[in-house]
């Protein structure tokens, strides 16, 4: 049986219509006899008038009917409609600049787009599309496109505007584009909430749940280490990890073969290498890891290295527990750790490679 977050956590998510909990739980409203997604726009019930379910089927078996506003029986978990509409518009034509006037013609209040994008992506809509266009421009310049053509292709009508926007994102003018190291970012929705993936041509540098405590510090540290800028985009690496995450959460495979770029001390890297040897559906203790390292007294150091892993799931630090069998802390939340361990018990060994 899947373990849900605490009732208080889920009720807070319901009040805030927190999209990171989409697919994690469904809420039954005792006073109306319906059940909803956590992002349902309907009026919110009192704390004592709700109960929670891990699947729509459980809510149906409990006698609840699906809500006609949020359609909790729909298989595909959808982003808020505004985000989906704008995200699709950007990806269909990354070089297009969508102005406030364009937004109004689409029936969207620019201030609403700004707030909603900032809440989800931690940058405004205009900043997001500017970074996306700059990423495309950098690619064009690096592949031999003349600066003036990159300027025109990305919708800038003046050279000064292009140079200023380029420097604002990358910290260097277009003529020095070859000196810029760029990490591309992708937002990946999962049944346990959204994840952020950062990658370059060499491999995946970071994969974390977006609500992980201290994520901003991890990103800032990675930027310093790689001397990189981060822009939204796509790549073969990001496509691969997205597909592998899809297979993982669907329970068809626990394999992660995406190339990784890891940074840490020799000891940390040895711990992370061992973590990747823990079979899906099994757990090891910190003591077992320390013994396998030949350092049986280094359990605390092993725990610290475990906590510094920034490649969630692909380096499965969630498979480490205390020697007494109890669960320890997890950067993505202990409730996620419980869910992941339960989920992996249902993935056939033949599917794990």
Task: For residue range 24-35, list pLDDT tens digits in order.
Answer: 889 999 888 899
Q: Do 266-351 and 7-66 have the same topology in CATH?
A: no
Q: Express each pLDDT in 143-182 by its tens digit.
A: 777 887 787 777 777 777 777 777 777 777 778 777 788 8
Both structure tokens of 198: 């950062």
42-51, 89-98, 108-117, 189-198, range with greatest mean pLDDT: 42-51
How crowded is the C-beta side of 308, counted as CA atoms within 13 Å?
18
- CA 280, chain centre distance (Å): 21
* Cα–Cα distance, 26 to 175 (Å, whole number): 52
Which two tokens mark 183?
A: 């990490």
Q: Does domain 7-66 have CATH number 3.40.50.11600?
A: no
Q: Is the pLDDT of residue 352 over 60?
A: no
User: Is residue 317 annotated as part of the catalytic site, yes or no?
Assistant: yes
Name the residue ranges covered by the structural domains of the chain: 7-66, 81-175, 183-245, 266-351
For residue 351, pLDDT beyond 50? no
β-pair partners for 182: 229
In which band, very low, low, confident or very high, does the pLDDT at 1 lie, cut at 50, 70 and 90? very low
pLDDT of residue 344: 93
Residue 107: burial class (beta carbons within 10 Å; 0-12, 13-18, 19+): exposed
The CATH-assigned architecture of domain 266-351 is Orthogonal Bundle (1.10)
Distance CA 182, CA 230 (A): 6
Torsion of CA 109, 154, 81, 100, to 10 degrees: 0
Q: Compute φ and ψ for 333, nearest 5 degrees.
A: 105, 135
- Give the number of other CB atoms < 10 A from CB of residue 157: 9
Q: Which of 26, 35, 30 is nearest to 65 (CA)?
A: 35
Instruction: Give the domain 81-175 fold.
Output: Arc Repressor Mutant, subunit A (1.10.10)
159-170 vs 125-142: helix crossing angle, rounded to 10:
100
Exactly one of 67, 70, 182, 317 is catalytic; name it: 317
Dihedral class, residue 140 (left if φ above 0, else alpha if ψ from -120 to 50, else beta)? alpha
Please state the pTM of the whole predicted model.
0.66
For 64-92, the pLDDT digits (tens) are 778 888 888 765 445 567 777 787 777 77
How many percent of the chain have pLDDT more than 70? 92
């Amino acid at each position: 049986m899947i373990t849900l977050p605490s009732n208080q956590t889920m009720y807070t998510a319901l009040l805030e219509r927190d999209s990171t909990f989409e697919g994690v739980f469904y809420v039954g409203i005792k006073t109306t006899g319906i059940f909803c997604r956590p992002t349902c726009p309907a009026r919110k019930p009192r704390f004592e008038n709700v109960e929670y379910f891990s699947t729509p089927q459980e809510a149906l078996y409990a006698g609840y009917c699906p809500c006609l506003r949020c359609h909790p029986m729909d298989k595909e978990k959808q982003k808020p409609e505004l985000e989906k509409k704008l995200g699709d518009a950007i990806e269909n034509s990354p070089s297009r600049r969508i102005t406030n006037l364009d937004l109004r013609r689409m029936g969207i209040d620019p201030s609403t787009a700004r707030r909603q994008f900032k809440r989800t992506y931690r940058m405004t809509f205009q900043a997001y599309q500017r970074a996306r266009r700059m990423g495309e421009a950098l690619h064009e310049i690096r592949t031999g496109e003349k600066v003036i053509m990159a300027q025109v292709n990305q919708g800038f009508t003046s050279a000064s505007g292009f140079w200023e926007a380029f420097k604002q994102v990358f910290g260097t003018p277009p003529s020095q584009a070859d000196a810029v190291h760029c990490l591309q970012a992708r937002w990946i929705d999962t049944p346990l909430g959204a994840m952020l993936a950062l990658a370059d041509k060499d491999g995946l540098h970071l994969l974390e749940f977006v609500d992980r405590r201290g994520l901003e510090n991890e990103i800032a540290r990675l930027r310093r280490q790689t001397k990189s800028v981060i822009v939204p985009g796509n790549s073969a690496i990001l496509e691969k990890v997205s597909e592998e995450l899809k297979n993982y959460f669907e329970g068809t495979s626990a394999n992660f073969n995406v190339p990784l770029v890891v940074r840490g001390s020799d000891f940390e890297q040895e711990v992370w290498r061992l973590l990747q040897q823990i079979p899906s559906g099994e757990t090891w203790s910190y003591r077992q890891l320390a013994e396998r390292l030949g350092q049986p007294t280094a359990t605390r150091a092993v725990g610290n290295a475990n906590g510094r892993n920034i490649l969630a799931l692909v380096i499965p630090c969630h498979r480490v527990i205390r020697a007494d069998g109890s669960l320890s802390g997890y950067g993505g939340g202990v409730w996620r750790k419980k869910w992941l361990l339960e989920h992996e018990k249902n993935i056939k060994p033949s599917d794990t490679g």
